[in-house]
A and B are shown apart, each in its own frame.
Chain A
Amino acid sequence: EAQVTQNPRYLITVTGKKLTVTCSQNMNHEYMSWYRQDPGLGLRQIYYSMNVEVTDKGDVPEGYKVSRKEKRNFPLILESPSPNQTSLYFCASSRDRALSGANVLTFGAGSRLTVL
């Protein structure tokens, strides 16, 4: 089944304790992206990657890191989490970032993170 898999789905952690949210897709997609979703703010892009070893900042990159060493994986790293990073996180992928066509984003199931 074609899918985007995120782990963990739920996590409660404490301020300053480094954590990684993994994301893996099995569709050979070139483009991958991380979003956070907060009440009243909608989906906001954190980082995106157009291909292996190519990453770029989205609208809210502060406090996050990413890497894209393999095409299928795009982990999100919080080096020193803070309470304002408590949110619902979604990883998404698409075939490419082509400027034409219904290049649809496929989303993972989400990771609900709470930082105390």
Chain B
Amino acid sequence: GQNIDQPTEMTATEGAIVQINCTYQTSGFNGLFWYQQHAGEAPTFLSYNVLDGLEEKGRFSSFLSRSKGYSYLLLKELQMKDSASYLCAVRERGGSQGNLIFGKGTKLSVKP
């Protein structure tokens, strides 16, 4: 079966670092995506991992361990505008070939 878990909510302080975890169990694996979604708006792409390790993109980094079914999104130097939901999504290999399975999202609140 498919299962993607991430915390429902997190709170952090402006200027700090926050790590949002995602664990997954899928029948096949062909890549993990992180999307950012501000309230009432469309999700927008943040990062993509298919091999183990860390991908860095400015203030945002994403890590993947395929053997552990685990990823995290690291946000540094938090800004108020980072308050949003962060969606972890896994692309499966196999039957539904390439469709993304989304987690329920983590709502991050950044406080002054």
Q: Which of B63-71, B73-81, B97-105 contacts A (4 or more CB under 8 A)?
A: B97-105
Question: Complex formed: what's the CA distance from A105 to B91 in Å?
Answer: 11
B33 — which chain A residues lie within 8 A by C-beta? 102, 104-105
| A99 beta carbon closer than 8 Å to chain B | yes
User: How far apart sit A33 and B30, CA to CA, in the bound complex (Å)?
Assistant: 19
Complex CA–CA separation, A107 to B37 (angstroms): 11
Residue in contact with B103 in the complex, picked from A42, A58, A103, CB distance below 8 Å: A42
Question: 29 A–B contact pairs at CB < 8 A?
Answer: A33-B99, A35-B102, A40-B104, A41-B104, A42-B87, A42-B102, A42-B104, A42-B105, A43-B102, A44-B102, A45-B99, A45-B100, A58-B99, A88-B40, A90-B43, A97-B97, A97-B98, A99-B30, A99-B97, A100-B50, A102-B31, A102-B45, A104-B33, A104-B48, A105-B33, A105-B45, A107-B42, A107-B44, A109-B41
Residues in chain A within 8 A of chain B (CB atoms): 31, 33, 35, 40-45, 48, 58, 88, 90, 97-100, 102-110
B interface residues with partner A (beta carbon < 8 Å): 30-31, 33, 35, 40-45, 48, 50, 87, 91, 93, 97-100, 102-105
